[in-house]
Structure 1
Amino acid sequence: MDRPAPSVSAPPRALAHPLPAGMRDLLPEEARRRRALAKRVLDHFVLHGYEPVALPAFEFAEVLERGLGTLDAADVLRFIEPESGEVAALRPDMTPQIARLVATRLADAPRPIRLCYEGTVLRRRQGRARRHRQIPQAGVELYGVGALGGDLEILRLAASAVREAGLEHVVVDLGHAMIARALLDAVPAGLAAELSEVLELKDASRLAAVLASPRATDVPRRIVAAIAALPDLAGGGEADPDGALVFERAGCLLAGTPAEAPLAELRALWDAARKSPELGPALRVDLGELRGLAYYTGAIFHVLADGPGEPIAAGGRYDMLLSRFGLPMPAVGFGLNLDAVAWARDVAGAADEPALRVLLAMGPERAEPLAAALRG
């Protein structure tokens, strides 16, 4: 039986809906601007002594997931790799890839190791301002330098990189992952998990209810008081430019608790960073920041700008990361979300370098050799 000829009036679904949800094209002008932004940032990293590396678009899922940080495993896009039959994953973050690279290919390299990268990661995007799966990133990783020295270097580089990208007015929120973790480690595991969720949402009324529940009866009162105060332990800026009010209150609340030592570490980093002219005016402190609580081991920060509903850059210290790949080593770094940076640039009215175009008003016999000479 003859099949009816396909209708030319109804385009195939692949043409009517050319891209999966969360994916997008960049048209010529936007692509040119994005490429120029990435080059500008990467060149800035290289000028600061960071060597560029290029990484594969996908790897075996087990390797990538070993180094996942603030992402949930559900954010990872997996597939069966045809050659091996093993589960592979499109990279959701570049930090695990670089950790794998350092632990294998660069295990004997002189330290410290300074690396930078640029590329696209792919992940599920739930509850974000822009639900794109593909996220262009650029960032740096510093291996082999401990706290304070390494943290300060990375903070300064993050601040100078966003300014190199054309953003003069940003806020750098600085915290320490071990402050909240040390307090939560002092409460029962089930209660700690709920408190972590509530603290991340900064829901003060629910936090008070959980801490007043019978499950918290046996938790030392000093720990309860410190946890209850975490969402309010934030400051800096015009009202408290040197952070004295926040650190004074935190010092009283955290004295004699396991969080006292990480608070002292954060204060030392804060005091050093405040002296940096490109960083000091932008600094704010937030002791209630819980992002990546199970991943970060020290200072954490994110950079905010007008426009995007999410940080334009984020990073921190993750000294246990390389241990997951068999090579214990201090590590700290940050990544820029180039989509968010571009959005913030548009809001700020940052100027772009115009594309160079030359019109040759002559016949092709003369124009072609002249165009070749100009390109050279």
Structure 2
Amino acid sequence: MTKPDDLLPIGLEDALPARAATITRAMRDVLQAMDSHGYDRVRPPLIEFEQSLAGRMEGVATRRMVRFTDPESLLTLALRGDMTVQVGRIAATGLADAPRPLRLCYAGDVALLKADQLDPARQRLQLGAELIGRDNVAAAIEAVTVALDALEAAGITGLSVDLTLPDLVDTLAEEALPLPADKREAVRRELDMKDAGALKAAGGDAYLPLLYATGPFDQAVEKLAAIDAGGVLASRIAALREVAAALRGRVRLTLDPSERHGFEYQSWFGFTVHATGARGALGRGGTYAIKGTDEAATGFSLYMEPLLEVLGTDNTEARKTIFLPLDHDRNQALHLRAEGWRTIAANAESDEPASLGCTHILQGGEPMAL
């Protein structure tokens, strides 16, 4: 019987056996793929000083963090809402003297005080990799490649990649399409919302063509090149073409140069990974600078919830599982587990092998199918 005290807060849920098994397997496969590319895993703490979490990267909203007072220092603590920030701190402190480029990966839960409208979850399993010390085209290609390898290792198919230029408005606003500093945020917002009327009202008439430089990469990049007044975007467009060339034939490629949602702290390059069957993005990444040191970096984050939409859940009952009677030989049971069997030992005469999910029973020293 469920009691009121048994209910979980909105946005939080238990992972029951089948779901937990899928999460564990996918996390292992993703981390192994990152390790195969030379990324070493770090495990930062769940809780840090709020100032540290907010001070290492632009775009980190402290109002979304779960905060409380540290009884020891009396300073404000916060549950991490993004592990990328913590990797930046590690790179700038404990690994400040490590050779660059520095390759680090991670996996862990993050928590938010309040979820957003697009994703109701307030606790998420975040996995990712960061290439510290590089933000060039080669680093961008590596980040996308590692992200795709990690997702494919977990069993994800039907992948597509959407490329973007997070600093597009700021780059154009300086000279090519002049825009006062106090209007840039509104123009960025309306471009992100794809609202032509609101964009004009915000003073972004000159930016209207960007709304149509989207879609399949080859066509969209040509439209973007045609908009590029004075060639200020020439190097970025060339970089996008180079990234696309490295991925061509592997995934479907699209371009949305003015996309900003999820790219609050990225610099010149960003990407989003989608998959058939997932309602939301599986992950995002790009280039950025670690606040405080201004060290260049390139990386990505993946989230487990959309991965599970594609993967489904493991069927634990279908696994090769053998029931061990009360008087079973423990040495033989050890040998069976070494061979890959999953064993369930009886601890009462009333135990029923089938109801416990067993596929076999140990009889006369041999596995017998149920």
TM-score interval for Structure 1 and Structure 2 normalised by the shorter chain = 0.7 to 0.9
1:179 counterpart residue number: 168
Cα RMSD (Å) of the superposition?
A: 2.5
2:186, 2:59 → 1: CA distance? 17
Total equivalences in the alignment: 334
For 2:297, the aligned partner's letter is: A
Q: For residue 119 of structure 1, give the secondary structure of its aligned residue in structure 2.
A: strand
1:249 counterpart residue number: 223
1:357, 1:272 → 2: CA distance? 42
Q: For residue 325 of structure 1, give the secondary structure of its aligned residue in structure 2.
A: coil
Q: For residue 314 of structure 1, give the secondary structure of its aligned residue in structure 2.
A: strand
Matched, 1:359 2:322: yes
- Select the structure with the greater relative contact order (CA < 8 A; seq sep ≥ 6): 1
Pairs within 5 Å for 1:193-342: 193-211=185-203, 224-225=205-206, 227-236=207-216, 243-256=217-230, 258-274=232-248, 277-278=249-250, 281-291=251-261, 294-318=264-288, 320-321=289-290, 324-326=291-293, 328-342=294-308
2:215, 2:55 → 1: CA distance? 35
* 8 A contact 1:136–1:337 mirrored in 2: yes
Tell me by how many angstroms 1:43 deviates: 0.9
* 8 A contact 1:70–1:291 mirrored in 2: no
**Cα gap change, 1:195/1:86 in structure 2, threshold over 3 Å: closer, same or farther?**
same
For 1:368, the aligned partner's letter is: R
**Cα gap change, 1:258/1:181 in structure 2, threshold over 3 Å: closer, same or farther?**
same
Tell me by how many angstroms 1:267 deviates: 3.0
Matched, 1:27 2:16: yes
Q: Which of residues 30, 38, 42 is equivalent to 1:41?
A: 30
**Cα gap change, 1:371/1:282 in structure 2, threshold over 3 Å: closer, same or farther?**
same
Q: For residue 317 of structure 1, give the secondary structure of its aligned residue in structure 2.
A: strand
Tell me by how many angstroms 1:356 deviates: 4.2
Tell me by how many angstroms 1:250 deviates: 1.7
1:66 counterpart residue number: 55
* 8 A contact 1:183–1:257 mirrored in 2: no
Identity %: 30
1:373 counterpart residue number: 335
> Larger helix proportion, structure 1 or 2?
1
Tell me by how many angstroms 1:257 deviates: 5.9
Matched, 1:125 2:115: yes
Worse-superposed segment, 293-302 or 44-53: 293-302
Worse-superposed segment, 114-123 or 253-262: 253-262
Q: For residue 177 of structure 1, give the secondary structure of its aligned residue in structure 2.
A: coil
Tell me by how many angstroms 1:25 deviates: 0.8
For 1:43, the aligned partner's letter is: Q
**Cα gap change, 1:251/1:134 in structure 2, threshold over 3 Å: closer, same or farther?**
same
For 1:304, the aligned partner's letter is: H
Tell me by how many angstroms 1:272 deviates: 3.7
Normalising by structure 1, we get a TM-score of 0.81
1:353, 1:300 → 2: CA distance? 38
Tell me by how many angstroms 1:283 deviates: 1.5
1:358, 1:294 → 2: CA distance? 48
1:189 counterpart residue number: 181
Tell me by how many angstroms 1:253 deviates: 1.3
2:210, 2:15 → 1: CA distance? 42
2:106, 2:318 → 1: CA distance? 25
1:75 counterpart residue number: 64
1:14 counterpart residue number: 5
Matched, 1:56 2:45: yes
Structure 1: gaps spanning 5 or more residues: 1-8, 217-223, 237-242
Tell me by how many angstroms 1:210 deviates: 3.0
Q: For residue 49 of structure 1, give the secondary structure of its aligned residue in structure 2.
A: coil
Worse-superposed segment, 298-307 or 94-103: 298-307
Q: Which of residues 341, 345, 352 is equivalent to 2:311?
A: 345
> Larger strand proportion, structure 1 or 2?
2
**Cα gap change, 1:127/1:336 in structure 2, threshold over 3 Å: closer, same or farther?**
same
